[in-house]
Amino acid sequence: METIKCNSCGAVQEFKTEDSSCGYCGEVVEIQKAAEDYTNVIKGKFGNFLLLAETAEEATNYDESTKYYNKILEQDTTYADAWLGKGNGQIYASKIGDIKMKEALTYWRNAIKFSENKPPMKLRVGKEINNVVQTFFPNLLNHYNEFSGLADSYSELAGRFLVLEGGISYAADICPDSVEIHQTGYNLCNKVITAPGSGADAAAMAAGASTIFNALAGNKYAAKSNSSDWTDASARKEQIKKFGAAIEEQKNKYHAGLVRLGVIDESAVDTSVPGSVSFDSTNIDIKAFNKLKTEYFISIVVMGIWCFLLVTSTGEFMSFIGPLIFWFIYYFARINPRSKKLFGAPFGDLRKSVKAGETNNSGNSRSNSSNNGDNSAQDNNNKPTF
């Protein structure tokens, strides 16, 4: 293992003797020259500042690292590595509610502008951006998961993500043939789109059922309160739909890139999109599907027995509303999310697809049997006689 500075893009990295290409730009590395270049930089005019900046980055003290990069730029505004390091630091040191993407993009552009070899530097900058965005993204998702019950939580997640996504978008523009960057953009968009899960549906369903129950029971105050909850839950669903559509547009861009690069088959349907029903049911794990379907039917049976016992014991027909609300919550909080996680589609859509697939297979089997019979008859007619 040897520390080198790439001959093409200038990236400093630990280089294994069995390696031959740079981990950032992919260009072939002349190890001896690259090692000498690194030594010359460390012993050069800005060597101390670069070492201090790298040490601060390793300690995740990004404000400190930016300070040292600034010291370099105060003396040489064309030092590409300092612009790149300063751009990375802007994102790493950002707060969730104030992502410094605009500033970072300016610095990353300067890194390319002042580099000696622009094509390799573009690849290096693209990879650096990819790493920075992937590192920062979990902060957004964790914050949303913690406060997902608040009214504007999803709009805040989506808005902040679209700012962060600007970095990946720029990286995809300067590295159009990078599968890694397009895959990152695609994956992160999908994580934001699917982040709400079925929570909003379950909340709206529960609030709506409670409203009906209390209205029928004559509890007008509780019914009014539940009606307000239902309105809020419905508003959240519309919010998720609106912002999810905006992110879907960005995701489609990365999807098109992956198709162009041959990673995704153009004819394949993206089953990770919520609500998608057009997928090949023959690829479904039938054992896992049957297990989930059994759980679904058991939950219906349990609810039915519960409703029957309540109605017969209380004599109140409307007492079945309680178990019904519980079942809806169970369905949208347990069964539907598991279906999306395992198969990439809501449970209802999944059942329809599997049923349609079974019908088609049955029809094909009958058709094949008929064809086999015809072929057999033709074979007999074509047999030679002696």
Q: To the nearest whole number, what is the mean pLDDT of the chain? A: 80
Burial class (CB in 10 A: 0-12, 13-18, 19+), 350: buried
Q: Give the whole-angstrom CA distance, residue 184 versus residue 192.
A: 12
pLDDT at 225: 47
CA distances from 347 to 81, 131, 205, 299, 332 (A): 51, 35, 16, 14, 10
The yes-or-no verdict on residue 196 having pLDDT over 90 is no
Choose between 385 and 18: higher pLDDT: 18
pLDDT at 137: 96
Residues 6+ apart with CB under 8 A from 320: 307, 310, 311
Residue 254 C-beta-side C-alpha neighbours within 13 Å = 25
Using DSSP, state whether 28 is helix, strand or coil.
strand
Mean per-residue pLDDT, 37-54: 91
DSSP 8: T
Q: Give the whole-angstrom CA distance, residue 347 versus residue 338.
A: 8
Residues 213-226 have pLDDT tens digits of 444 444 444 444 44
Q: Give the whole-angstrom CA distance, residue 36 versus residue 20.
A: 16
13 backbone dihedrals φ, ψ, rounded to 5°: -160, 160
CA distances from 169 to 1, 3, 136, 179, 185 (A): 34, 31, 15, 13, 8
**Which of the residue ranges 220-229, 250-259, 370-379 has the most confident prediction, judged by mean pLDDT?**
250-259
Q: Give the whole-angstrom CA distance, residue 63 versus residue 90.
A: 8
Does residue 201 contact residue 332 with C-beta atoms inside 8 Å?
yes
Q: Give the whole-angstrom CA distance, residue 131 versus residue 85.
A: 13
Least confident of 137-146, 175-184, 198-207, 350-359: 198-207
Does residue 108 contact residue 87 with C-beta atoms inside 8 Å?
yes
The alpha-helical segments, DSSP class H, found in 59-198 are 62-75, 80-92, 101-113, 118-147, 153-174, 179-194
Per the listing, tokens 């449970």 go with 347
Q: Give the whole-angstrom CA distance, residue 349 versus residue 357.
A: 12
Mean per-residue pLDDT, 77-98: 96
Q: Give the whole-angstrom CA distance, residue 190 versus residue 168.
A: 14
Burial class (CB in 10 A: 0-12, 13-18, 19+), 43: exposed
Determine the residue type at 133.
V
CA distances from 274 to 113, 281, 340 (A): 41, 16, 8
Mean per-residue pLDDT, 337-353: 74
pTM strictly above 0.85: no
Mean per-residue pLDDT, 10-25: 86
Structure tokens at 181: 């960057």
The alpha-helical segments, DSSP class H, found in 175-285 are 179-194, 199-217, 220-260
Choose between 71 and 200: higher pLDDT: 71
Q: Give the whole-angstrom CA distance, residue 220 versus residue 118.
A: 70
pLDDT at 360: 53
Q: How many residues does the structure list for the chain?
A: 386
pLDDT at 91: 96
pLDDT at 45: 87
The yes-or-no verdict on residue 89 having pLDDT over 90 is yes
Least confident of 142-146, 251-255, 341-345: 341-345
pLDDT at 278: 40
Distance of CA 132 to the CA centre of its chain: 16
Closest CA to 257 of 174, 351, 141: 174
Residues 262-313 have pLDDT tens digits of 998 766 545 454 434 344 445 567 788 888 889 888 988 888 888 788 778 8
Does residue 87 contact residue 111 with C-beta atoms inside 8 Å?
yes
Give strand pairing partners of 21: 28
Question: Domain locations in the chain?
Answer: 279-357
Closest CA to 272 of 264, 146, 40: 264
Q: Give the whole-angstrom CA distance, residue 247 versus residue 277.
A: 20
